[in-house]
Structure 1
Amino acid sequence: MARISSHDFPSRPSAPCARALPAIAATASAVQNLFIRFVSFRDSPTSSGRVGLPYVSSLLQSRPVQRFTGQHLGQRPRVALMANDALGNFAICTPIARAFHSLYPGLTLDFYGGTRTEELEVPLVGPDGLFCWRCSAHGAEPSEVFAKGLARAHELGGYDLVLNIEAGGLNRALAAAIGSGAHVCGPCLSPDGRKEWDYPDDSRGDLWRDKEWVSAELVARYPFLQTGFIAEVFLRLAYVEPLPDAEWPGGVPKYLFPRDAPAIPVPDVLIATGGTLPSKLWPKENWIELATRLRAAGLSVGLLGAPPKRQAAFYHSASDEDALVEAALVADLRGKLTLPQVVGAVAACRLLVTIDNGILHFGAAFDVPTVGLYRPEVQRLWAPPNPNLTKVCPEGGTVADLPFDAVWRAVEGRLTSVA
Structure 2
Amino acid sequence: MEWFDDQPLRPRPHIAVLFYDALGDFVIITPLLRGLKEKYPDCTLDYFSGERTRELEEALPYIDARFSVFGNPNALTELPAFLAERRAVAGEYDLAINCDFHPTMAFVAHMLQPRYVVGKCFAADLREEVPRAPGKRHQLHDEFWSAPDLLQRYGDILNSTYIGEIWCRLAFVETDFYRTEVPTEDPACDIPEVLISTGGRRPAKLWSRDYWKQVIDWCFGHGYRVGLLGDKPQRQSAVYHTGDTESWLLEQTPLIDLRGRFSLPQAAGALARAKACVSVDNGIMHIAYSVRTPTIALFGASPWMVWTPPVPHLHLVLPDEPCSKCYENRFRNAACLLPRHQCMLSVRPARVIERLQAVLRS
Q: How does 1:18-417 map to 2 (within 5 A)?
A: 65-124=1-60, 129-141=61-73, 142-155=75-88, 156-178=90-112, 180-210=113-143, 212-222=144-154, 223-240=156-173, 242-243=174-175, 246=176, 252=177, 254-375=179-300, 378-394=303-319, 395-397=321-323, 398-417=343-362
Deviation at 1:148, TM superposition (A): 4.0
2-structure distance, mates of 1:148, 1:85: 21
Superposition deviation, residue 367 in structure 1: 2.2
Deviation digits for residues 374-412 of structure 1 (CA, Å, limit 9, x no counterpart) = 127611111123311210111413334322222222222
Residues 152 and 214 (structure 1), Cα distance of their counterparts in 2 relative to 1, 3 Å cut: farther
Alignment length (residue pairs): 339
Tell me how far apart the structure 2 counterparts of residues 117 and 106 of structure 1 sit (CA, whole Å). Answer: 25
| Counterpart-to-counterpart distance in 1, 2:138 and 2:287 | 31
State how far apart, in whole Å, the 1-side matches of 2:301 and 2:149 are. Answer: 14
Aligned to 1:361, the other structure's residue is in SS state helix
Report if the CA contact (8 A) 1:86-1:117 is conserved: yes
Query: Which 5+ residue runs of structure 2 have no aligned equivalent?
Result: 324-342
Inter-CA distance 354–235: structure 2 relative to 1 (3 Å threshold)? same
What is the alpha-carbon distance in structure 2 between the residues aligned to residue 322 and residue 377 of structure 1? 25
Q: CA deviation at 1:76?
A: 1.8
* SS at structure 2 position matched to 1:387: coil
Say if 1:114 and 1:139, in contact at 8 Å, map to a contact too.
yes
Amino acid at match of 2:97: L
Return 114-123 or 369-378, whichever deviates more. 369-378
Aligned mates of 1:410, 1:299 — CA distance in 2: 15
* Identity %, equivalent residues: 35
Task: Give the C-alpha shift of residue 328 in structure 1.
Answer: 3.9
Distance 1:388 1:370 in 2: 6
Q: Is the 8 A contact 2:199 2:230 kept in 1?
A: yes
Q: Provide the rounded CA distance (Å) in 2 between the counterparts of 1:111 and 1:322.
A: 37
Could you list the runs of 5+ residues in structure 1 that have no partner in the other structure?
Answer: 1-64, 247-251
- Mapped to 2, the partners of 1:237 and 1:175 lie a distance apart of 16
Shift of 1:167: 0.5
Q: 1:164 and 1:405, CA in 2 relative to 1: closer, same or farther beyond 3 A?
A: same
The amino acid across from 1:166 in the alignment is D
Change (3 A) 1:194 1:346: same
- SS, match of residue 305 in structure 2: helix
Cα distance 1:85–1:377, how it changes in 2: closer, same or farther (>3 A)? closer
Distance 1:304 1:363 in 2: 11
TM-score (norm 1): 0.77
Over 3 Å counting, the alpha-carbon distance change for 1:115 and 1:400 in structure 2 is: farther
Task: Decide whether the 8 Å contact of 1:376 with 1:393 is kept in 2.
Answer: no
Tell me the alpha carbon deviations over residues 57-110 of structure 1, each in whole angstroms, 9 at most, x when there is no partner.
xxxxxxxx2111111213121000111110010112211110011111121001
Specify whether residues 342 and 308 from structure 1 end up closer, same or farther in structure 2 by C-alpha distance, changes over 3 A only. Answer: same
Paired with 1:77 and 1:399, the residues of 2 have a C-alpha distance of 46
Determine if contact 1:136/1:145 at 8 Å carries over to the other structure: no
Counterpart CA distance in 1 for 2:288 and 2:116 is 35
- Cα distance in structure 1, aligned partners of 2:297 and 2:127: 42
Q: Distance in 1 between the 2:201 and 2:346 partners?
A: 18
Q: Is the 8 A contact 1:367 1:387 kept in 2?
A: no
* Contact 2:165 2:178 (C-alpha < 8 Å) held by counterparts: no
CA distance in 1, matches of 2:130, 2:352: 44
Please say if residues 354 and 371 of structure 1, whose CA atoms lie closer than 8 Å, have aligned partners that are also in contact: yes
Q: Retained in 1: the 8 A contact 2:164–2:178? A: no
2:2 and 2:131 in contact (8 A); partners too: no
- The superposition leaves residues 280-305 of structure 1 with CA deviations (integer Å, 9 ceiling, x where unpaired) of 10011111111111111111000001
C-alpha displacement of 1:198:
4.5
Q: Is this contact kept in 1: 2:95–2:114, CA < 8 A?
A: no
Closer/same/farther in 2, CA of residues 145 and 280 from structure 1, 3 Å limit: farther
- CA-to-partner distance for each residue in 1:26-46, whole Å, 9 max, x for gaps? xxxxxxxxxxxxxxxxxxxxx
CA distance in 2, matches of 1:148, 1:269: 46
Letter of the 1:415 counterpart: L
CA distance in 2, matches of 1:166, 1:199: 16
